[in-house]
Amino acid sequence: MREVIMVKYGEIALKGLNKGTFEDILIKNIKRRLRHLGKFEYMRRQSTVYIEPVSHDADLDEVIEKLKTIFGIGAIQRCAVYPKDFEIIKEESVKYLETALQFARTFKVEAKRSDKTFPLKTPDIQMELGGAILEAYPHLSVDVHNPEVTVMCEIRDKGAYVSAERIIGAGGMPVGSSGKALLLLSGGIDSPVAGYMMAKRGLIVDAIHFVSPPYTSDRALMKVETLCEKLTAYCGDVRFFCVPFTEIQEALRDNCPQEYFTVIMRRLMIRIANHFCKENEYGALVTGESVGQVASQTLRAIQCTDAVAEFPVFRPVVGMDKKEITEIARHIDTFETSILPYEDCCTVFTPKHPKTRPDIADIEKAEAMYDFTDLINKAIRDTEIKLFRVEGNE
Amino acid sequence: MIYLDNAATAKPCKEAVEALSHAAENNFGNPSSLHKMGIEAEKLMNEGKSAILKRLSKKDGEIFFTSGATESNNTIIRGVANALCRRGKTIITTAMEHPSVARVMDKLEAEGFNIVRLSPKDAIDNFEEYIADNITPDTILVSVMAVNNENGFITDTKKLYTLVKRQNKDIIVHTDGVQGFCKIPLTGDFISMSGHKVHAFKGIGAFYAAKGTRFLPLIYGGGQQKNLRPGTEPVENIAAFSAAVKAYPEDMSHFELLNQRLREGLAAFSDIRINSLIGKCVPNILNFSVLGVRSEIMLHSLEEREIYVSSGSACSKGKVSSVPDAFGMTDKEADSAIRVSMSHSTGEKDIDELLSGIEAGIKRFRR
């Protein structure tokens, strides 16, 4: 029996003339992710990619697990392929559907006929196939509104496809179809989620992180590296910039008024990020800020940090509350890592009473009390770059 | 590298390494086997028991081997509570216990036992009497650590044992002897020990059970160790434990000299609080606060010089310890506490290096 996996496009299906470009990127991404799982043949037709294993040892369950993390995919269906002969379809699919149907109570058949030369019309296919199934599994009953199992039968150009399981894909746009962005990754719950969300919109997401040893520990860095690794499951390869930040923070502590520490620190981070954006052609910055969460995430504070950004700053979780963000963090498996209790550089020298409504003129004045240029350049020079690769692409 | 975190774990000694590899090469039999290999393994295990009993100065009683002190503490506390719960429901313990005791007590409390937790700060000069004064007719067990892992505070277990038994000889006394074993005399109906704190390996622990004491097992299996702690005995690890115990020096004067040197060195810096009370703590542990410098920052800056110390208890990465409160430390003191724990290979030069590391840390971090 031949089995294929049908991958149906998400948003790309709605694209116009440039649809082909998006398809190319999606298929390239799929191929990269599946490469270590075996040899596959790919065919695209009617807004669908057909993935057929060439080697017999390919584990299709594992393939489906991987596909579920690839953006740009609307739905995934594992199906049996038959010649377009309805007698064969009936006979074979009743056997094929055994695992799906033996413990179900209700079902329905949904048919599609894009090949209009097929002798049976859609309602006829539904009725005939449904009848055959009922005969083979008499414990079942038909429920067209809320079936436990929906059997799909599609008569397409190349053959008939029967399946009982339709899996919702990750949605969004294929990673790489919208450009590149640099994520400010702290180690908290929010920033990995922000990275995930922008990758979902088709961005290639790389990450920048600031370390302040001995104020921060190696464990804190290990934690962020683990987060990067976890992000690769959705984002693809992630380049990781690790910026030594100790001297800058010490200079900040020694030279600027305490209540402005946090905002000035964030401005310095953005300045450094600006540099890497220009050097590596990132078109935007991404942060995990959510309005009102902490003192640096008030409107005024955000205005102050954005004033030094030379690129658009995307904040995909800006309007979400902690519970919603946490839900996504659990979904992408970053939550347990994010809550490890190691201090990151953002909480070093946190003022007792930070200004929640900083005035940009005051901030600029406070920041001008020390010339950070040399330290910024040094931090940029000493930045370490690491590449985290998608599983199977080592 | 200067390793001053021996209360967290101590480097396996040469004797332990040799004993382990010798046993692995030659005595790998299962002590339960009927043949010669089994008998040889059993002998090795019994030698281990004798070495530990000897070090505890006990003539009779039983040694049980476990996976470590956490298992020892769990087995004793739970096993005794379950065995004696019809006689009473009250257990007396302290507020400074290691989590492997404290969390078991929390669980028993949730199951209906009455747990009394006493703080040393309420009777720092006569803690043993204070504990004994809290005994009621319902008390079945007294569980106290001999040496606190964070500051070295000693509870005189012999005195405590006498005071408790004078009131009611049926009350069981459990001594968590992890930090005290090989360092100070230990008394108790049950005494827990750990291998890796005395230069043996991680993964092996033991406990002493006095003759005639009763407890119910935590796990069930093939009948080993009187069916009270079943599971094939890790003979190689037991051999190493026994070798380490035999090799551990009796003399503590080495620690006293280093401890004094460290205290004197610290006295030269301003705003240092010594949290280990003089005369009331073991000399191999010294806990002090460098006020104004958070423990973790000092720890990592010492780490840059390859000096390894601890901020409180190493088991509790990032978690809040109950010990500072049990000793009445302020938050400021607790936040800046550093624990130095020495071994017999620690030298004066190491202490001097540590002191210059702390001095540099104070200059850099204290604002």
B301 shares contact with chain A (CB less than 8 Å): yes
- Please give, rounded to a whole number of angstroms, the shortest distance from the CA of B318 to a CA of chain A: 6
List CB contacts (< 8 A) between B318 and chain A: 340-342
Q: Which of A214, A341, A342 sits opposite B301 (nearest CB)?
A: A214
Which residue type is seen at B65?
F
Average model confidence (pLDDT) for chain B?
95
pLDDT of residue B312: 66
Distance (Å, rounded) from C-alpha B334 to C-alpha B347? 27
One DSSP character per residue, B103-134 reads HHHHHHHHTT-EEEEE-GGGSTTSHHHHHHHT
Q: What is the mean pLDDT of residues B307-312?
A: 90
pLDDT above 90 for B206? yes
List CB contacts (< 8 A) between A352 and chain B: none
State which residue of chain A sits closest to B300, comparing Cα positions: A214
List CB contacts (< 8 A) between A343 and chain B: 296
* Token pair recorded at residue A37: 């799982």
Q: Give buried/exposed letters for A10-41 (b at 16+ CB in 10 A, else e).
A: bbbeebeeeeeebbebbbebbebbbeebbebe
Contact residues of A toward B, CB < 8 A:
213-217, 219, 253, 340-343
Could you give the 3-state DSSP secondary structure of residue B179?
A: coil
Whether residues A342 and B318 touch (CB distance < 8 A) is answered with yes
Q: Which of B300, B318, B367 sits opposite A214 (nearest CB)?
A: B300
The percentage of chain A sitting over the pLDDT mark of 70, rounded to a whole number, equals 98
Q: What is the mean pLDDT of residues B84-112?
A: 97
Residues of chain A within CATH 3.40.50.620 domain(s) are 180-388
B35 shares contact with chain A (CB less than 8 Å): no
The percentage of chain B sitting over the pLDDT mark of 90, rounded to a whole number, equals 94
Domain at B2-9+250-365: CATH code: 3.90.1150.10
pLDDT of residue B196: 98
* Of residues A342 and A240, more confidently modeled: A240
One DSSP character per residue, B206-224 reads EEEE-TT-----SS--S-T
B14 shares contact with chain A (CB less than 8 Å): no
Q: What is the mean pLDDT of residues A364-384?
A: 96
- Please give, rounded to a whole number of angstroms, the shortest distance from the CA of A137 to a CA of chain B: 47
* Token pair recorded at residue B99: 């989590």
Res. B290 pLDDT band, cuts 50 70 90 = very high
> Cis omega (within 30 of 0) on the bond before A119?
no
Whether residues A341 and B297 touch (CB distance < 8 A) is answered with no
Which segment, A41-55, A158-172, A230-244, is predicted with the most confidence on average? Answer: A230-244
Secondary element (H or E) of residue B40: helix B36-55
Q: Which of B297, B318, B367 sits opposite A341 (nearest CB)?
A: B318
Active-site residue flag, B315 = yes
Question: What residue segments make up the domains of chain B, in order of their start?
Answer: 2-9+250-365, 14-247
Domain at A2-171: CATH code: 3.30.2130.30
List CB contacts (< 8 A) between A217 and chain B: 296, 300
- Please give, rounded to a whole number of angstroms, the shortest distance from the CA of A344 to a CA of chain B: 12
- Please give, rounded to a whole number of angstroms, the shortest distance from the CA of A265 to a CA of chain B: 18
pLDDT above 80 for B72? yes
pLDDT tens for residues A213-246?
998 888 899 999 999 999 999 999 999 999 999 9
Q: What is the mean pLDDT of residues B272-298?
A: 94
List CB contacts (< 8 A) between A253 and chain B: 367
Does domain B14-247 fall under CATH 3.40.640.10? My reply is: yes
Number of Cβ within 10 Å of residue B169's Cβ equals: 7
pLDDT above 90 for B339? yes
pLDDT above 70 for B318? no
pLDDT of residue A47: 84
Architecture of the domain defined by A180-388: 3-Layer(aba) Sandwich (3.40)
Q: What is the mean pLDDT of residues B8-28?
A: 97
pLDDT above 60 for B313? no
pLDDT of residue A394: 59
Work out the burial of residue A245: count CB atoms within 10 Å of its CB; fewer than 13 is exposed, 13-18 middle, 19 or more buried.
buried
Q: What is the mean pLDDT of residues B119-124?
A: 96
Work out the burial of residue B336: count CB atoms within 10 Å of its CB; fewer than 13 is exposed, 13-18 middle, 19 or more buried.
buried
Q: What is the mean pLDDT of residues A49-60?
A: 87
pLDDT tens for residues B177-195?
999 999 999 999 999 999 9
Q: At what angle do helices A86-96 and A122-136 cross, to 10 degrees?
A: 40
pLDDT above 50 for B314? no
- Please give, rounded to a whole number of angstroms, the shortest distance from the CA of A76 to a CA of chain B: 43
DSSP E strand boundaries for A290-343: 313-314
State which residue of chain B sits closest to A341, comparing Cα positions: B318
pLDDT tens for residues A246-304?
999 999 999 999 889 989 999 999 999 999 999 999 999 999 998 877 766 888 889 99
pLDDT above 90 for A153? yes
Distance (Å, rounded) from C-alpha A303 to C-alpha A80? 56
What's the pTM value of the predicted model, to 2 decimals? 0.84
The percentage of chain B sitting over the pLDDT mark of 70, rounded to a whole number, equals 98
List CB contacts (< 8 A) between B317 and chain A: 219, 341
Q: Which long-range contacts (CB under 8 A, 24 or more apart) does A55-60 make?
A: A60/A3, A60/A5
Whether residues B300 and A213 touch (CB distance < 8 A) is answered with yes
pLDDT of residue A393: 65
Q: Which of B300, B319, B367 sits opposite A217 (nearest CB)?
A: B300
